[in-house]
Structures are given as C-alpha cells and as structure tokens.
Structure 1
Amino acid sequence: MTFLTVARLGRYTAAADVLGVNHSTVSRRIAALESAMSGRVLVRTTGGWEVTALGRRAVGIAERIEGSLRDLVEGGGQDAVHGMVRVSAPDGFTATFLAPAMTTLRRTHPHLAVELLSATQRVRQNRSGVDLEIVVGRPQVLRAYATAVCSYALRLYATPGYLAAYGAPGAVSDLAGHPLIYYVESSLQVDELDRALQELPDSPPSLRSTSVFAHVEATAAGAGIGLLPDFLGDADPRLVRVLDGAYEHPLAYWAVARDEGPRNPAVAATLEAITAYIASSAASAIAPSAAAAPRADA
C-alpha cells in the first residue's frame, strides 16, 4: 500500500503525509519491496516518481489487494461503481465539463470517490498516478486505451473597450501590434498548444500565465487580445471574438486510460459520464453558432 500511494502521488513526501509516516519509512518500505521483487519498481523523473515495467505489475496486484480489503470492510452486494477514480485534465476542461459530470456521476454512485488533478501536459507513458487522463491532441502512447472526447478551437477574444481604445485588427498580421495573452511559452508542454502560438506573429510584451483562467480574466480586464478555448471565450459576456473567420486553431480532447481501465467499472462509468455531459452541452458550449460570442469586425 505504501508503494501504491507513492505510485499515485509521485512523491515520497506526499505519500508519507497521507500514510501518517515519515519520509524515511516510505523509502525503507519501497526499498524492501524492490529487494523482494529483485528490481526497481520506481524511477525518478523531473515530474516525480514513475513506475517501471516491474512496478506496473506491482501496481496491478496492489490495486487488487486494495479492492479486496475495501470489500472486506464495506461488505458485499454493493454498487460495482465504487472505490476511487483519479482523473487528470487541463483546468478549463476540469471546470467546464469534468467537475459537473463527476457531480452527476456521484449522485448515481455515492460510494465512488473522485479526485480531479489539474494538469495541462503531455500524456504520461507510465500512468500510475491516475486512472484516466484528458489531454489535448491525439496521444501517442503504448499499452493504453485512447478515445476522442470532444473537439474545440482556440480563437481570439478581446473586450469591446479594448478594441475601441486600441483598434480591432483587420488581419492576422495586425496582431503584431497587440499584446497577446496566452501560456508562458517556456512552460508549454503540449505541442498542439505551442503550434497555435507559432501560427501568429510575435507579440509585444504581454501578460502570460500557466493558467487558462488567468488568460480569461486578463483578457476581460483589457490587458490585450486573448487566445482562448472557444467554450470559455464564447461563454463570457465580457468578450467578443476577434478576426472571427480569419483565425482559429482546431483542437480535440482525448481520454487515455491504462489497458485495463475500460474494464474497471468505475473508470468506464467515469468516461461514460464525461461523454454524456459533453454531448448534452455540446450545442452551446463546444460548437457555437447562434450562441457564439459577438463578432468584432474590422
């Protein structure tokens, strides 16, 4: 169970806090497990500890033990959708789709605990810490199940006040005269998000952030022109589209689970709840037409 906690959290210190022990105890228990299994079960990476191929075997066994212990404590005959499911997703997706979808799911399955981890990054080859990952762009992964969840686009937005004060660009090239609000370029880990920036001219000094919600608020405060997901930009009454029809960068969200994930009732129910919620809100949230943000014509 110590190993499983480290595998999920990625850090000895975080695992120690959860387990109520100290860092050296966690380290000693992992060392004992590796000695018993005659090999490394964890390897250190820049993002924390990740499981090795041998560790993946141990994770599967540990999760079965965990499930058996839970059944022993909670008794039989309960809902198959129970236990814990961990989902990693970008901030915007988490707030707009994932949190409400999981709220609905838990009304039906109250014994299911859900942990949402916000992350805008490439899919991890060793998905030990989460059951389901939502990533931007089609993932290139091994030993995993991947399926498209929904499409969206990055578009340009500003406030009417900003455009009145500084002028509405008439072409993509005119953006060189406007501060562009987007991710911190050096922190971008997703190639598709980086390509969107490469399609635009260099921006003068501007406000950048690792948070998409900071992009929205900075744009709404008049800091410049924001490059935003359309499901966030169109839903914000403070913003209008800029260069509508002249620029958009289409993207898609994909869900990735370990090979055994779709066979896990909790993971399968989670994925179904996400797709059902998106389908119910797609007409207005993802494929805007009449409900789209007003257009800022040059």
Structure 2
Amino acid sequence: MDRQIDYRHLESLIALLTVARLGRYTAAANVLGVNHSTISRRIDALQKAMGGHLLTRTPNGWELTDLGRRAMASAETIEQAVEAIGAEKDSGALAGHVRVAAPDAFSAHLAAPALAKLQVKHPQLVFEIVSETTRARQTRTGMDLEIVIGEPHVRKAASMKLLDYELRLYATAEYLESHGTPRSIEDLAGHSLNYYIDTALTVDKLDDATSALPPMRRSISSTSIAVQYAATMNHAGIGLLPTFLSRHYPNMIPVLHEEFTFHSEYWLVGRDEALRSRAVQETVRALNDAAAAGDWFIPPFPVPSASGS
C-alpha cells in the first residue's frame, strides 16, 4: 500500500470487501447491517485515505480498480484475522454472511438442509437463500452464489456442475380415472398440464422441456414447484415434475415414462471475489457434497382424498 491505513479505516475495508464480492452497495449494506449511505461514506473515506478510486461502476455492478484490488488484499487479511480471533477455542470455526440464489426445488430440498447442517456446525455463519428460477445473470446480483438450470455462460465467474436430474410426467389415479390414461405422446393433447408459467419462464432449458409434447391446455401454472405438486396431487392435471421428488410420493403415478423424459442439470456459479471467502468456499463444498450424495430432504406432503378434501 502506498498509504498507511489506520484503525479508523478497518470498517471501510470490510465495506469494500463486501461490495467487491456482491457488486452492490445495497447488498453490502444488507449483509453488514447498515444503510446504503453508510457504505458509501466508508468507501469515500477509504478512497480519500488511499488517494484514488477503489471501485468503478460497470454493467456488471461495482468492480475493483487496480488500487481497489490492493486494498481488498488487506481487507481479506483483516477478515481472516477477525475470524481467527473468534475461533481461538475452535480452529475450524467459520463466520460470515453468505447469500445464495437457487431454484425453488433445489432451495427447499437440498440447499436448506445442507446449509442447515453447516450452520449447526458453525453457528456464526448466516445464510440467505433466495428462491428463484432464472438463467445465470451476466450482471452482478448481490449474491455470492447462484444455482441455475442448464450450463451457464457467464464472464468473470467460475461454474461447476452439481448434478443431473430429470423431469417426467405424473398424475394421480383419481385424475387418470376421470380423464383417461394417455397411451401415447399424441394422447396428451387432450389433457391439462401443470408446469411453469410460460410468460414468467426465463430459463431456456426448462422452456425446452415441453417442446416434445403436443400443445396442452394449462391447468394450474406456477413459478413454485410446491404449487405444481399441490395442483397435481389435487387432480388438476398432469404435472411435469422432477423425479427426485416424485418417486417418494406413492400417489404420483408415472405417465408415459418409457416414451418421455427430459434431462437437465443444476450448475453452481460464483464470482472470483466471493469464492475467495472461506465461508463461501465451505458453502460450495457443502452443496457439492450434498448433491454428490443425493442428500435430498423429502418432507411429507399431504395427500388429498379422492374428493379433494
């Protein structure tokens, strides 16, 4: 560093570190428990102390300048020192705030239980899980990690495939008794489909899932996988649903499984700045281990009676 940073700038360095990882002042303010103006004031003070701009605004959010990258190295050293002080009695202790965006099913059935186990082991870790089913964004979103469906193509980020999964068609016995059992793909044209809302679906991979099916009337569409299951279990139509959940519910009757299946994948995306955090690294490890083990949390789902009551 060309200029010495005294203790008054420690909070400013942590603010810089958090903005660099999340790309947004507002996201950094949320993580640090302060308001946007406080983050701005701390960054401004640090820039004056160092004699130059540390951040520059880009279409992808706030990015570090060369001087900012040098400051961030100091900020990471401080972060590690603080973690070490807090972990004197437990050299393996972790602390930090990690934000994860993931599709609805992945959030509830794999991410939440996997990160709950990690949080029990390291009580100073704090997680925010945002359920959303979108493609990997080119712009910085204020998230440390994104879980997306289909292989992402994002600049200045690392990605890894977590696991494969498949979508297949399911219905209840009550629905099939009332509307008939399809014997071919063409027969589906006379049936209703429970799936994502067409106009709200931004993931090409999920949009492709219905391309091999004939046009089907939409019964109950939703951005929530739980709603799609509830609609299907209440006999509203045939659901296009993930097998990793459906196979655990005995009232989910396979429909045309020999004729139709759609394969996809979950991928993890992380920015370089975020992946330098030990808390984020351990989060990635926990998610990858859970995916490799197929460690899905399958909650009991109320099964309605034939009358739907």
TM-score range relative to shorter protein: 0.7 to 0.9
Secondary structure in 1 matching 2:126 = strand
Secondary structure of residue in 2 paired with 1:198: coil
Residue 280 in 1 paired to residue 261 in 2?
A: no
For the pair 1:166 / 2:179, whether they are aligned, the reply is: yes
Q: In the alignment, which residue of structure 2 is the partner of 1:64?
A: 76
Q: Secondary structure at the match of 1:130?
A: coil
**Shift in Å at residue 107 of structure 1?**
3.1
Q: CA deviation at 1:216?
A: 0.8
* Paired AA for residue 279 in structure 1: A
Number of matched pairs: 281
Letter of the 1:83 partner, please give it: A
Deviation at 1:217, TM superposition (A): 0.7
Structure-1 separation of matches of 2:124 and 2:69: 27
Q: CA deviation at 1:130?
A: 2.4
Instruction: String of CA shifts for 1:75-97, please: whole Å, max 9, x gaps.
Output: 65654552222222111011111
| Cα distance, 1:40–1:105 mapped onto 2, change above 3 Å | closer
Q: 5+ residue gaps in structure 1? A: 286-298
Number of the residue aligned with 1:209: 222
1:82 and 2:94 matched: yes
For 1:22 and 1:109, locate their aligned partners in 2 and report how far apart those are by CA, in whole Å: 27
Letter in 2 for 1:217: A
d(CA) in 1 for partners of 2:251, 2:71: 47
Alignment map for 1:210-249 (pairs within 5 Å): 210-249=223-262
| In 1, Cα distance between equivalents of 2:30 and 2:285 | 33
1:144 aligns with 2:144: no
After superposition, what is the alpha-carbon deviation per residue over 1:186-241, rounded to whole angstroms, capped at 9, x for unaligned?
11111100111222222224211111111111111111111111112222233111
Alignment pair present for 1:186 and 2:211: no
Distance 1:58 1:43, change over 3 A: farther
Contact kept? 2:185, 2:256, Cα under 8 Å: yes
2:127 maps to what in 1? 114
Q: Which moved more, 1:54-63 or 1:104-113?
A: 54-63
Specify the code of the residue in structure 1 equivalent to 2:189.
A
Instruction: Look up the SS of the partner of 2:100 in the other structure.
Output: strand
In structure 2, the partner of 1:268 is 281
**What SS does the corresponding residue of 2:217 show, helix, strand or coil?**
coil
Q: TM-score, normalised by structure 2?
A: 0.74
TM-score norm. by structure 1 comes to 0.76
Q: Please say which of residues 226-235 and 32-41 is displaced more in the overlay.
A: 32-41
Other-structure match for 1:157: 170
For residue 51 of structure 1, the aligned residue among 19, 39, 62 is 62
Question: How many Å separate the matches in 2 of 1:11 and 1:283?
Answer: 32
Gaps of 5+ in 2: 1-13, 299-309
Q: Relative to structure 1, is the Cα distance of residues 7 and 120 closer, same or farther in structure 2, using a 3 angstrom cutoff?
A: farther
Does the 8 Å CA contact 1:6/1:12 hold for their aligned counterparts?
yes
User: 1:51 is aligned with what amino acid?
Assistant: W
1:14 Cα offset (Å) = 7.0
Say if 1:20 and 1:250 are closer, same or farther in 2 by CA, change over 3 A: closer
161-170 or 120-129, which deviates more: 120-129
| Deviating 4+ runs (over 6 angstroms) | 3-36, 282-285
Q: Secondary structure of 2:284's match?
A: helix
Q: What is the one-letter code of the residue matched to 1:100?
A: P
* Contact 1:4–1:62 under 8 Å retained in 2: no
Read off the aligned partner of 2:79 and give its amino acid letter: G
Give 2:111's aligned amino acid.
L
- Structure 2 partner of 1:256: 269
Does residue 100 of structure 1 match 2:113?
A: yes
Larger radius of gyration between Structure 1 and Structure 2:
2
Judged with a 3 Å threshold, the aligned counterparts in structure 2 of structure 1 residues 20 and 81 are, in CA distance, closer, same or farther, namely closer
